Amino acid sequence: MDLFLQQLSNGMVIGSTYAVVAVGFALAFTVLRVIQFAHPDVFMIGMFSGMMAAGFVPGGGLAVALIGGAVGSTAIGAVIERTVVAPLRGRDVLTTLIATLGVSVILQNGMAAVVGPDPIPYPRLLPSRFYEIGPLVLTLRQMFCLGLCAVLLALASFYVRGTHIGRATRAIAERPDVAAAFGVNVGQVCRITFWLASTMAGLAAVAVGTLYGSASAFVGLLYGLKAFVCMLVAGNRYFEAVIVVAFALGILEALVTGYVSSSLRDAVAFFVLIGVLYLRPDGLFGSYAT
Amino acid sequence: MSALLRIEGLAVSYGSVPAVDGVDLEIEPGELRVILGANGAGKTTIIKTIMGLLKPRRGAIRFDGEHDLLRLRPDQIHQLGIAWVPEGRQLWNTMTVLDNLRMGAFEVPDKTTINTRIGEMFERFPRLAERRHQLAGSLSGGEQQMVAIARALVSSPRLLLMDEPSLGLAPIVMREVFTLAQDINRLGIAVLMVEQNARQSLKVAHFAYLLEHGHVVEAGLATDIAGKKSVQDVFLGGSA
């Protein structure tokens, strides 16, 4: 029972990080109709820019790293939006998919050329301390990661459900033409949404770097695949569905690691994907009719 | 009197297939005009081009004499005071009735104004007031058409484009929609309607165009058009 609870909480921590990346993916896909394959690399850039910021400002610590992560990822997200996504908006999904895949390759290998292909140690932005909460043992880094991601997800949900521009993102997701004809500047809303997704990714990336104590130019690869799976499994009808699926995936992976084998962990996502797409091609929670 | 909307020599194609070819059309402030035509005559294409959703190959569309609509984005066109009731309603089905209406006044900065106008819509359509928190997709066809019309009216437009508002409605609801179009028009809002239901729409319209294969083949006062043989042909769908 203790192992179960422990793996459950570990899974929630991992799941929360998947959720932040997956939400960014899902926003880009439902609002902009773009499969933003470079999104996980925006996350990676945030991880490194946070690390650099923490290095530049002595004693700055976590707060500076978070700001650095957010600035770095938002900047690179804005550049991608301006140079690749906006000019291709309205084109075939495959066109932007290939274009963003190209950006992804450039970012990964560009970063690898600078920092090397192997993981490098991440600065210790939080002390290695752990807390016993009943039968659970959680590290401070895990708690920070889970807490930060939960706040980001809550804010993203509030953006989509509770704000004026957020309502427009849902309107665009369901009927882009009608939204435009009712006064929504679609290009502008897409831009803001893209920036926000990038900012979220950069903030979460600093927490993930701190959690694992390492950063790699290729960290986005696995994150990207899993976030992509979460989006497909969830379907795009309800924004929050992808969050639920991401948490479920994190927990499932942790349970498989705990009870079966850690080498099977990364395959779980794909078993789930195949199973769900076989039974419910529109995703577990349904998608907008196209 | 100067035209509120003037379309000259409009030609729109889908790929190499022409949908509208050399259409001239205008509407004056406070008028109700109808474009009649069978499926595929190019009616919806004209409406979508006015709204900025399709780019024409040739032609000009001017609003209020000074605005060249072809240079504007759809959201900018909407802000000039042109609102759209799309074919098949096209509501945001996953949003509530209230959110659909709020989206109709998206660019109105003042919340009080928005709420006042939505309140007016609920007075006009009491059934929508009852269902304000329901998802738009769960309403009946007639109710959805009311939402689509109310959504267009909350922006206080000067020109209302109605694309086949009677499509798929029960006959009694259909008549209600035409009466409603007339009521809206009597408030001083110009209405440009696209319809297949010639009998009903000619009763409420001042002026009518008959569209066939992307060309205007007849134009005149609604009362005159109603008597023409070519219109009778369209009623029967036998004009090809």
Q: What share of chain A is helix, strand, coil (3-state, %, to 5)?
A: 75, 5, 20
Strand-strand pairing, B207-212 and B32-37: parallel
What one-character DSSP code corresponds to residue A225? H
CB B55 within 8 A of CB B68: no
Residue of A170, A175, A182 lying closest to B78 (CB–CB): A182
Q: What is the pLDDT of residue B156?
A: 94
Is the pLDDT assigned to residue A60 strictly greater than 80? no
Residues in chain A closer than 8 A to B53 (CB atoms): 177, 180-181
Find chain B residues with C-beta within 8 A of A287's C-beta: none
Check whether B41 has a pLDDT greater than 80.
yes
B68, two tokens: 């060249």
Q: Contact, A54 vs A60, CB < 8 A?
A: yes
A243 contacts chain B (CB < 8 A): no
Q: Is the pLDDT of residue B239 over 60?
A: no
- Say what the pLDDT of residue B123 is: 95
Question: Strand B215-221 and strand B207-212: pairing?
Answer: antiparallel
Confidence label for A59 from pLDDT (cuts 50, 70 and 90): confident
Is residue B151 within 8 Å of residue B101, measured between CB atoms?
Answer: yes
Find the mean pLDDT for residues B58-68: 94
Q: Are A205 and A149 in contact (CB under 8 A)?
A: no
Pull the structure tokens for residue B122: 């609920």
Q: Pick the range with the lowest mean pLDDT from A54-63, B10-19, B40-49, B173-182.
A: A54-63
Using a CB–CB cutoff of 8 Å, tell me whether B159 touches chain A: no
Q: Which residue of B has its CA nearest to A185?
A: B75
Q: Of A186, A151, A157, which is closest to residue A169 (Cα–Cα)?
A: A186
**pLDDT reading at B2 higher than 90:** no
Neighbour-count burial of A56, counting CB atoms closer than 10 A to its CB (0-12 exposed, 13-18 middle, 19+ buried): exposed
Asked whether the predicted pLDDT for residue B35 surpasses 50, the reply is: yes
For chain B, percent helix, then strand, then coil, each to nearest 5?
A: 40, 25, 35
Q: Is the pLDDT assigned to residue B161 strictly greater than 50?
A: yes
Tracing tokens 């023409």 back to the chain, one arrives at B228
DSSP codes of every residue in B122-168: HHH-HHHHHTTTSBGGGS-HHHHHHHHHHHHHTT--SEEEEESTTTT
**B78 with A237: Cβ contact below 8 A:** no
Mean pLDDT of the A93-103 span: 93
Mean of pLDDT over chain A: 93
Model confidence pLDDT, tens digit, residues A139-178: 999 999 999 999 999 999 999 988 999 999 999 999 999 9
- The yes-or-no verdict on residue A57 having pLDDT over 90 is no
How confident is the model at residue B234, as a pLDDT? 61
Per-residue model confidence (pLDDT) at position B235: 62
Mutation site for A-interface testing, chosen from B45, B51, B75 by largest number of A Cβ within 10 Å: B75
Judge whether residue A290 has pLDDT over 50. no
C-alpha dihedral sign at A260, A261, A262, A265: negative
CA–CA gap between residue A248 and residue A272 (Å, rounded):
10
Q: Alpha carbon B162 to chain centroid distance?
A: 2
Closest-CA residue in chain A for B98?
A: A167
Give pLDDT, residue B238.
45
Q: Is the pLDDT of residue B237 over 60?
A: no
pTM of the predicted model as reported, rounded to 2 decimal places: 0.88
At residue B20, does pLDDT exceed 90? yes
State residue A237's pLDDT score: 83
Is A178's CB within 8 Å of B90's CB?
yes
Percent of chain B with pLDDT over 70: 96
pLDDT in tens, A168-218: 999 999 999 999 999 999 999 999 999 999 999 999 999 999 999 999 999
pLDDT at A100 over 90: yes
Higher pLDDT, A287 or B37: B37
- Report yes or no: A91 and A98 within 8 Å, Cβ to Cβ: no
Output the CA–CA distances (angstroms, integers) from residue A288 to A234, A239, B94, in the order listed.
Answer: 12, 11, 9
More confident residue, A68 or A132: A68
Q: Which residues of B touch A182 (CB under 8 A)?
A: 75, 78, 83-84, 103-104, 106, 151, 155
Q: Which tokens is B24 given? A: 């001239």
pLDDT in tens, B130-140: 999 999 999 99
**Count of positions (residues) in chain B:** 240
What's the average model confidence in pLDDT over A121-137?
Answer: 90
- Averaged over B78-92, what is the pLDDT? 96
**Band (A102; pLDDT cuts 50, 70, 90):** very high
Per-residue confidence at B240, pLDDT binned at 50, 70, 90?
A: very low
ipTM score above 0.85: yes
DSSP classification of residue B57: S
Chain-wide mean pLDDT for chain B? 92
